[in-house]
Amino acid sequence: MNYFSSHFTLGILGGGQLGKMMLYETRKWDIRTSVLDPSAEAPCRIAADYFEQGDLMDFNTVYNFGKKVDLLTFEIESVNVDALEKLESEGTKVYPSAATLRNIQDKGVQKQFYKEQKIPTSPFKNFEDKYQLNEAIVRKELHFPFVWKSCTGGYDGKGVSIIKDAEDIIPLPEGACIAEKLIPFKNELAVIVARNPSGEVKTYPVVEMEFHPEANQVEYVICPARIAESVANKAREVAKKVSEAFEHVGLLAVEMFQTEDDEILVNEVAPRPHNSGHYSIEASYTNQFEQHIRAILNLPLGNTDSKVGGIMVNLVGAENHNGPVLYKNIDEILKMEGVTPHIYGKKETRPFRKMGHVTIVNKDITEARKIAEAVKKTIEVISRN
């Protein structure tokens, strides 16, 4: 199959920042693309060969879009899986597959899958609704504290709560959920796995999420993670096993906990390029977006090693700022060594909205960490108003 400067068309469901960064790679290789997104101002509108505005959850929209392309992928999980299944049954290649996506979209199903596949994960219970959850507490089948997760629709920390007592139950929404055992952990880690239809698999180095000491928020994604090699190897092995269990094609970001006794537990996965892999654009021999394209097109996978250490800082909208965005002091961070800002192209900022990210690379990860802190203290995402 010839993808380069050819008539082959890759369809991408979702036109946000992940799609936008994927388009750098399709442009680099002159692969024709068509993107579907509900917003007329989607970051992917520019740089795609074709752009279509439409609802990703609507069966007909996704189905009709899929019929016009040669291979379909997605940059967001909230898409109509029935349409993907029908497309697959009619011969359109969809990577990752509809079956993989079904196993991942619902967190209850995802956890059950780990259990069946003997993939280490924290103990959990499934509940069809809040009523069932309450009953389990009353019957003392479920004990405080625990981690509550909505089965569907969770994203960027939404749909997850630590439940310490009965009071914390009240604000939870109705609907299917899981309750996970709260396990103290040393580190939150992630490994990106690439797998192509021929079964070639490669894992990226382990990254570490460093949390703010007070606010419970990821501040830095650090590659390589500052952990023992034996733990890193174990994490990469587990991630590989997860990818193979799903028979996943494309990129799979596997988020994991390193427990107090150095066990690795799978938290959850994302079947696409991931925030935890953004560092790879500047730091890796093959960045995650190129790797995703290689994987879904069944091309040989690229080297996942890093050229240099990399740290990623998210650029999120400042509190109390709504309106046309201004990246205050961006020229100041451009003076710093090895600093690359990525601006996603969202015109309006809102508190905590992901507006971009900054990568800091350096041969010395300790030095990179210092510069990352200076970046975080300097740049501000505010409103021009």
Query: By the criterion CB under 8 A, which residues form the site for a second copy?
Result: 2, 4-5, 20, 23-24, 27-30, 43, 46-49, 285, 290, 294, 299-300, 302-303, 307-308, 325-327, 330-331, 334-335, 337-338, 340-347, 361, 363, 384
328 marked as part of a ligand binding site = no
149 marked as part of a ligand binding site = yes
Are 34 and 8 contacting, i.e. CB atoms less than 8 angstroms apart? no
Pick 117 or 298: Cβ nearer a second copy: 298
| Minimum gap (Å) between residue 43 Cβ and a second copy | 8
229 marked as part of a ligand binding site = no
188 marked as part of a ligand binding site = yes
Angle formed at CA 261 by CA 257 and CA 262, multiple of 5 degrees: 50
Alpha helices in 78-228 (DSSP H): 81-89, 98-105, 107-116, 130-138, 166-169
Angle separating helix axes 229-246 and 107-116, nearest 10 degrees = 110
Contacts of 268 (CB under 8 A, 6+ apart): 107, 110, 255
Pick 260 or 305: Cβ nearer a second copy: 305
| Minimum gap (Å) between residue 102 Cβ and a second copy | 31
**Does 224 sit behind a cis peptide bond, omega within 30 degrees of 0 on the bond before it?**
yes
d(CA 9, CA 11): 6
Q: 225-247 as b/e, with b when 16 or more CB fall inside 10 Å?
A: bebeeebbebbbebbbbbbeebe
| Minimum gap (Å) between residue 308 Cβ and a second copy | 5
| Minimum gap (Å) between residue 6 Cβ and a second copy | 8
| Minimum gap (Å) between residue 4 Cβ and a second copy | 5
182 marked as part of a ligand binding site = yes
Pick 183 or 308: Cβ nearer a second copy: 308
Pick 27 or 164: Cβ nearer a second copy: 27
Pick 24 or 144: Cβ nearer a second copy: 24
Distance of CA 32 to the CA centre of its chain: 24
Q: Which residues are annotated as a binding site for ATP?
A: 107, 149, 180-183, 188, 267-268
